[in-house]
Chains A and B, each alone.
Chain A
Amino acid sequence: MNIRELKIKDIDFKGMAAQAMEKAKVYSHEPLAIMKKELMTYFYTPIAYIVITAFLVVTGFFFFKDFFYFNQAEMRGFFQFLPLVLTLVVPAITMRLFHSGTIETLMTLPVTTAEAVVGKFLAATAFVSIMMAPTLIYLITIIIVGSPDPGPIIGGYLGSILLAGAYSAVGVLTSSLGRNQIIAFISGLAACFFLWLIDKITIFLPAKLAFIEFLGTDYHFRNISRGIIDSRDLVYFLSIIVISILLTTKILDDRR
């Protein structure tokens, strides 16, 4: 038996995996429990259904607006306007997350601030994803009537979820800034709209400042929704999410 064999045999991979799983279970049940509860809370009231209906009506309009005119089996119209619609809808979903008067109960349960923030962020992202799910009917429709290019559609949906995540994280951050829901909504809307707008204002800026467009959500969303999944775009969205979650955690911890 050589040393190499002995070493590999000695390592209890099964045990380590079981330990890791156990640890993950221990550390993950709190955010998931918070996410589940927040998600359930959305659907307890008719507001969730109203928001979803309004979203589907607006996005349906953009999907069908030029659909018959161009006679193309594609979802470009839908994905083109989706970021702008999300800038309006996501802050409305996140505005109540840290204003419902439930923080005292939540923050005296055995959860860290970061776990509470992640739980709420996951709930908002999951809600937006559920809200977008019925738009798959458009996809089924165009598959029936034509043969769409799968790249832009898969990219479009992936980009939509990443965008929903980024806007949800920004919304969670703005909702933690003050104690008023209306202020949370308006500041969330302003922040998301700014992120959407930023790559469009570069034409008014000197060429030296053209790099600013990399900061815009729409710039990265357009890249992904073309069907090109570039790590830079993924890193951008994940950065927005991580930075927003860290800032929210810091703000809530400092408020203690």
Chain B
Amino acid sequence: MQFVRRLTRRFRVASIGLLLLPLVACGAPTWEGIAIDPPREVPSFTFALSNGDTVRTAPEAGRPTMVFFGYTHCPDVCPLTLADWAKIKRELGADGARVRWYFVTVDPTRDTPSVAQAYAQQFDSAFVGLSGDSATIADMQRAFGVTSYLTPGASDTDYLVSHSSQVFALDEGGRLVTMYPFNGASSAMLADLRQLLR
């Protein structure tokens, strides 16, 4: 009968455990953006800047990262997104400098490292415009789940690039935790960045 008692006790413990599980799940952070569960580890990438420096997107303690893929000839999504970033950074005040802001081109043919960097810095001097070889950019796009393709125009250099328009937020550990669809997500980005900077 010892066995029966032990069995009953185990059932009781298991039942309590089952009831507590949802409470444990509720302890996860709540994002204003689209939460990604489980947070995705993304590899680090290295880009050369026009001044000879290199930028490595490896995680840095205490510094969350925002990533957006676009191109400098973009007529709508990219300038609006970077303008949103500039506004958010201003609203964060001094904490805005702790965030790493990466604009990664999906059009490396036209956007050389200097073009990408100059474009990003038009919006804020802390923004980093990244360009490199097509293979590195394709790898990074794949890691983030970003699609892009060219829409031919009047000439070889006059074309549009359709591209995924979401902004990605990574925590200080380099894990992709949340993302934002284009337009109307600036208040969500601001709230989540405040949480990431805590």
A-B complex is real: no
Residues of B within 8 A of A (CB): none
